Amino acid sequence: MTRLQVDGVTVELPAGATLLDAARAAGAELPTLCHDDRLRPAGSCRTCLVHADGRTVAACVTPAEPGTAVDTVGEEVRELRRDAVALIASALPPRALADDSPSELAEACHESGIDPTDSGAAPPRGSDESHPYVHLDRDLCIACGRCVRMCADVQGTFALTLTGRGADTVVAPGTGGPWAASDCVACGGCVDTCPTGAITQPGPGRGLTSRRADPDRVRTTCGYCGVGCALDVVVRDERVAAVLPARDGPVNRGHACVKGRFSYGYLTSAERLTEPLVRRGGVLTPASWDEAIAVVAEGLRAAVGHGGPDAVAAISSARATNEENYLVQKFLRTVIGTNNVDNCSRLCHAPSAAGLTASFGRAGGTDSFDDVETADCLLVVGANPVEAHPVVGARLLQRALAGATLVVADPRNVGLARHADVRLRPRPGTNVALFHGLAHVLVDERLVDPDFLRDRATGLDELTELLADYPPERVAGITGVPADDIRRAARLYGRAERPAVLYGLGVTEHLHGTDGVRTLANLPILRGAVGGTGHGFGISPLRGQNNVQGASDMGALPDLLPGYGHVTDPEARDRAEAVWGRPVPPTPGLRIPEMFEAAREGRLRALWIIGEDVCATDPDSRRVAEALDACPLVVVDELFLSGTARHADVVLPVASWLEKDGTFVNFDRRFQRVRAAVRPPGTARTDFEVVHAVATATGADLGCPTPADALAECGRVAPVFAGLSHARLDREGAVPWPCPSPDRPGEATLYAREFATPDGRAHLSAAPYLPPGEEPDADYPLLLVTGRRWAHYNSGSMTRRGGNLLLDTRGRLDLHPEDAVRYGVRDGAPVVVDSRHGQARLIARVGADLAPGQVFCAFHFPDEGVNSLTSEHADTVTSCPEYKVTAVRVRPTASDD
Ligand code: SF4
């Protein structure tokens, strides 16, 4: 610790602190117009001048030395600071310092007694209002560079620069031209850091930043991706005025992305459902809640009467809260009497749950992201976090720019790949061979941890025997990855002191996705880089939807109860039955694809779908629609009349994540609170209220009347959650599970003593490489990979209803220039994509991000039909669809209608 005096007050600070830290610790407030704690200090504006042992220095860049005497209050030094602020303000028009301006500069002027009428000499420089979320008023720019540093150092986009000379220096997009046409990804970092209001968000949120903690802001957790950013919602006139990144957010630390930060326009969309709809005479017509709930209850009774409890099923929601998921599965199990409940992790990370459980014993990542981020080698596989998990992508990029080696394995040249030390581009569907190739090198070159393998792992002999068949040269033939690159990547991972593996859906959404997870998990086991050994940070899945981890944790799965007790395990059932007072069915229920199959075959007679647009997001969507049409009762909880809702018999309008209370679990197993900032529109209710209402209408009482009660009850069913409560999360912010006791912290790092497998050991997998379900042929010569684009999310139901639509207006098909020539496709022109299953219409985007023979698109625009292309091939262990490998052909078309 460093001890020094500030204005006569003794302060103690950790090593590396600055005089600004010291001044703040002593309670002094200094203007800091070029400084933001999230950025490297610049020391250029001189507004934080102090006297240190008689010298005049900028506090933000001056190290705190032991014994220094700092003066922040003397007349002379205050005058120096006032002059520095006044000089900066003098170049700006008076509106920069208006009384109602919340900017740092205006505040500094007011506190220093600087008169706004003194300012305003500079000639006007104009504005840029081309972007839906970021407006630039050049006249207010003081060229402090905070926005430029935020864009480069925190976001890693490098979209901004300072142009001009001297007093004419001003921020501008690095590409020149309007902001809307720049590389900006609208993370909002520049808006949040700008000290003058030169860069602002238009509308009622103009000028609001995360700088001041304001008690009337509502702290919640982002409802888009699984990163779990903490956000502060500002409400004006009962509407969301701004969503600001929380500077003390445990994962995001004052950052966010275009979705969480800006994409809330959907809340007030005229298309929001505000009253229930019931199908009458073949047409969905408005109904009261009492009528709609009565129809649902009667339909459920009829289904059970006709086919027994297993004629009913529910698809719960990875978008919904933990408490809602808990209640849905409890309703199905205890009121209906079936285990037919599943959630969309079936379509994304079910192989993670199965694979990580088989390898280590628990269905989540092995380490906290805070640890992963300190790794000296990052192996990122089958993921594009820069677009799909932007805040994690930004933090990984920061780590790589700070010197960690980076290996990226993905068929596409994804954002992080551009900064990678080694880029591996395996053919889609060949992951298992690639992972075995890497493992072969680790074993062959003795880059393994023999003590760890002897003491804490099992399966080495079988794996070693198998790896003999996977030398890099053979793996190169299967994957298309050069053998030397496999060796280089394995050596970087194998020789690192603290390596970490992160992966995404490019590993799981395959015919052999669970094998992919397990054989990837072989690498940290071989290396002894898992289980709190201090030699690395295991393996972490980047979860897709905001609460896909939590939906599964809560037991919205056909074979697993809350906390992952198996329904076939009498002990797990006993525990749940003791709490619920009702029997739990002992046989696993239907998975989502099996639900559709049962509906088509007439075995399933009632399907309740909560917040999922399965007609847009599930594979082979034509067959999904057939299933819904064949099912006598389809109930859909939704925000909008989605493609799925159009097939429903009852549509129930529900609240979104900004309109409800509860908790989510993020990708590294942290529980965080979700809080209602605004009321849902019309008569819309939360899913929590809806499940209660349906249960009541069927004559049942589910208990746990509030979300807080539901989480508390879940803790009694599942010991791993017993230490969690809303009250604790309100106090502590985020708590990871396992958390078996209220007086113990959650376990951020798993398996420090032993693995949670039956024998306490990590299990190596010797699964051989097997080819994907689809291969290209003469009729369908291209391989289609699907994924996400940065501005949109999933089926796009929320992001297409607001400014994000202006950032990315429609679906595009990425293809290589050689393929564009071969198939007569022009960049920007409409194309038809055919597979063995369906057809999609997209706009071609020609570029070298993909290898020849591969194409890529997202499914954010359901009308374009992307998921009619994908097949019913699915992971052989978990039924997770093979979204990442579909054989297609492409042809130009005259019209994009
Ligand atoms: Fe929300 Fe994910 Fe963006 Fe964070 S990174 S703001 S959690 S969508």
The secondary structure of 791-813 as a DSSP string is T--TT-TTTTSSTHHHHS-S-EE
Alpha-carbon distances, residue 823 vs 330, 464, 530, 817 (angstroms)? 53, 45, 47, 10
Backbone angles phi, psi at 689, to 5 degrees: -65, -35
Q: What amino acid occupies position 417?
A: A
Q: Which atom of ligand 1 is nearest to the CA of 257?
A: 3
Backbone angles phi, psi at 509, to 5 degrees: -85, 65
Please provide the size of the chain in residues.
897
pLDDT digits (tens, 9 = 90+) for 431-475: 999 999 999 999 999 999 999 999 999 999 999 999 999 999 999
Q: Does 95 score more than 90 pLDDT?
A: no
Backbone angles phi, psi at 754, to 5 degrees: -155, 165
Q: Which residues contact 805 (CB under 8 A, 6 or more apart)?
A: 799
Q: What amino acid occupies position 612?
A: E
Task: Provide the percentage of residues in the chain whose pLDDT is more than 90.
Answer: 88
In the chain, what's the furthest Cα-to-Cα distance?
A: 89
Helix (H, G, I), strand (E, B) or coil at 867: helix
C-alpha 339 to ligand 1 mean position (Å): 32
* Cα–Cα distance, 683 to 70 (Å, whole number): 60
* Cα–Cα distance, 150 to 159 (Å, whole number): 10
Mean pLDDT of the region 756-760: 97
Given this model, what pLDDT does residue 430 score?
97
CA nearest neighbour of 85 among 149, 9, 27, 29: 29
Given this model, what pLDDT does residue 118 score?
59
* Cα–Cα distance, 521 to 463 (Å, whole number): 12
Q: Where are the beta strands (DSSP E) in 715-775?
A: 734-736, 762-763
Element (H, E) at 854: strand 854-858
Which residue's CA lies nearest to atom 3 of ligand 1?
257
Mean pLDDT of the region 252-280: 97
Q: Which atom of ligand 1 is nearest to the CA of 252?
A: 4
Q: Does 119 score more than 60 pLDDT?
A: no
C-alpha 251 to ligand 1 mean position (Å): 10
pLDDT digits (tens, 9 = 90+) for 679-737: 999 999 999 999 999 999 999 999 999 999 999 999 999 999 999 999 999 999 999 99
Q: What amino acid occupies position 531?
A: G
- Is residue 738 within 8 Å of 746, Cβ to Cβ? yes
* Cα–Cα distance, 42 to 47 (Å, whole number): 12
Task: Report yes or no on whether pTM surpasses 0.75.
Answer: yes
Which residue's CA lies nearest to atom 6 of ligand 1?
260
Q: Which domains does the chain have, with CATH numbers?
A: 2-96 (3.10.20.740), 123-262 (3.30.70.20), 279-346+560-715 (3.40.50.740), 350-541 (3.40.228.10), 782-892 (2.40.40.20)
Element (H, E) at 525: helix 513-527
C-alpha 394 to ligand 1 mean position (Å): 11
* Cα–Cα distance, 432 to 506 (Å, whole number): 12
Element (H, E) at 170: strand 170-173
Q: Which atom of ligand 1 is nearest to the CA of 256?
A: 6
Angle between helix 460-467 and 431-444 (nearest 10): 100
Given this model, what pLDDT does residue 177 score?
92
Backbone angles phi, psi at 183, to 5 degrees: -85, 5
Q: Please, which pLDDT band fits residue 77 given cuts at 50, 70 and 90? A: very high
Q: Which atom of ligand 1 is nearest to the CA of 392?
A: 5
Q: Return the best residue to mutate from 157, 219, 221, 227 for the ligand 1 pocket (most ligand atoms within 8 A of CB).
A: 227
C-alpha 886 to ligand 1 mean position (Å): 29
- Ligand 1 pocket, Cβ-based, cut-off 6 angstroms: 222, 224-225, 227-229, 252, 256-257, 259-260, 389-391
C-alpha 758 to ligand 1 mean position (Å): 36
Given this model, what pLDDT does residue 896 score?
53
Helix (H, G, I), strand (E, B) or coil at 41: coil
Element (H, E) at 79: helix 75-89
Given this model, what pLDDT does residue 117 score?
65
- Is residue 471 within 8 Å of 440, Cβ to Cβ? yes
* Segment 93-98 long-range contacts (CB within 8 Å, at least 24 positions apart): 93/119, 93/120, 93/122, 93/124, 93/139, 93/140, 94/119, 94/120, 95/140, 96/139, 96/140, 96/196, 96/197
Mean pLDDT of the region 505-510: 94
Mean pLDDT of the region 256-267: 96
Given this model, what pLDDT does residue 894 score?
82
- Is residue 389 within 8 Å of 225, Cβ to Cβ? yes
* Cα–Cα distance, 847 to 837 (Å, whole number): 26
Angle between helix 289-307 and 687-697 (nearest 10): 60
Q: Return the best residue to mutate from 155, 157, 252 for the ligand 1 pocket (most ligand atoms within 8 A of CB).
A: 252
Given this model, what pLDDT does residue 96 score?
84
* Cα–Cα distance, 410 to 382 (Å, whole number): 5
* Cα–Cα distance, 111 to 18 (Å, whole number): 23
Given this model, what pLDDT does residue 310 score?
98
Element (H, E) at 57: strand 55-58
Q: Which residues contact 760 (CB under 8 A, 6 or more apart)?
A: 754
Give 671's strand partners: 665, 735
Alpha helices in 445-512 (DSSP H): 450-456, 460-467, 472-479, 483-495, 505-508
Whole-number mean pLDDT of the chain?
A: 94
Given this model, what pLDDT does residue 520 score?
98
pLDDT digits (tens, 9 = 90+) for 647-679: 999 999 999 999 999 999 999 999 999 999 999
Helix (H, G, I), strand (E, B) or coil at 671: strand
DSSP 542-572: --SBTTHHHHHHTT-SSSB-GGG-BTT-HHH
pLDDT digits (tens, 9 = 90+) for 546-575: 999 999 999 999 999 999 999 999 999 999
C-alpha 629 to ligand 1 mean position (Å): 35
Sign of CA dihedral 705, 707, 709, 714: positive
Q: Among 380-384, 473-477, 566-570, 794-798, whose mean pLDDT is lowest?
A: 794-798
Q: Return the best residue to mutate from 154, 229, 656, 666 for the ligand 1 pocket (most ligand atoms within 8 A of CB).
A: 229
C-alpha 736 to ligand 1 mean position (Å): 18
pLDDT digits (tens, 9 = 90+) for 150-183: 999 999 999 999 999 888 899 999 988 999 999 9
- Chain-centroid distance of CA 487 in Å reads 32
- Provide the b/e sequence for 396-425 (b: ≥16 CB within 10 Å): bbbbbeeebbbbbbbbbbbbbbeebebbbb
Given this model, what pLDDT does residue 46 score?
92
Q: Please, which pLDDT band fits residue 116 given cuts at 50, 70 and 90? A: low
Alpha helices in 286-384 (DSSP H): 289-307, 322-330, 350-360, 369-372
Q: Does 54 score more than 70 pLDDT?
A: yes
* 627 CB-contact burial (10 Å; exposed 0-12 / middle 13-18 / buried 19+): buried
C-alpha 761 to ligand 1 mean position (Å): 35
pLDDT digits (tens, 9 = 90+) for 387-421: 999 999 999 999 999 999 999 999 999 889 999 99
Which residue's CA lies nearest to atom 1 of ligand 1?
260
Q: Which atom of ligand 1 is nearest to the CA of 225?
A: 2
β-strands 499-503, 377-381: how paired?
parallel
User: What CA dihedral angle connects 693, 276, 647 and 313, to 10 degrees?
Assistant: 0
Mean pLDDT of the region 258-285: 97
DSSP 510: S
* Cα–Cα distance, 142 to 139 (Å, whole number): 8
C-alpha 224 to ligand 1 mean position (Å): 6
- Is residue 511 within 8 Å of 429, Cβ to Cβ? yes
Structure tokens at 172: 């501008």
C-alpha 600 to ligand 1 mean position (Å): 37
Q: Which atom of ligand 1 is nearest to the CA of 793?
A: 8
* Cα–Cα distance, 245 to 437 (Å, whole number): 42
Q: Return the best residue to mutate from 219, 225, 664 for the ligand 1 pocket (most ligand atoms within 8 A of CB).
A: 225
Q: What amino acid occupies position 440?
A: H
C-alpha 259 to ligand 1 mean position (Å): 6
Q: What amino acid occupies position 343?
A: N
Mean pLDDT of the region 747-771: 96
C-alpha 130 to ligand 1 mean position (Å): 24
Q: Return the best residue to mutate from 133, 155, 222 for the ligand 1 pocket (most ligand atoms within 8 A of CB).
A: 222
* Cα–Cα distance, 403 to 397 (Å, whole number): 10
C-alpha 392 to ligand 1 mean position (Å): 9
Q: Which atom of ligand 1 is nearest to the CA of 221?
A: 7
Which residue is associated with the tokens 């014994």? 67
Q: Which atom of ligand 1 is nearest to the CA of 228?
A: 7
- Is residue 747 within 8 Å of 686, Cβ to Cβ? no
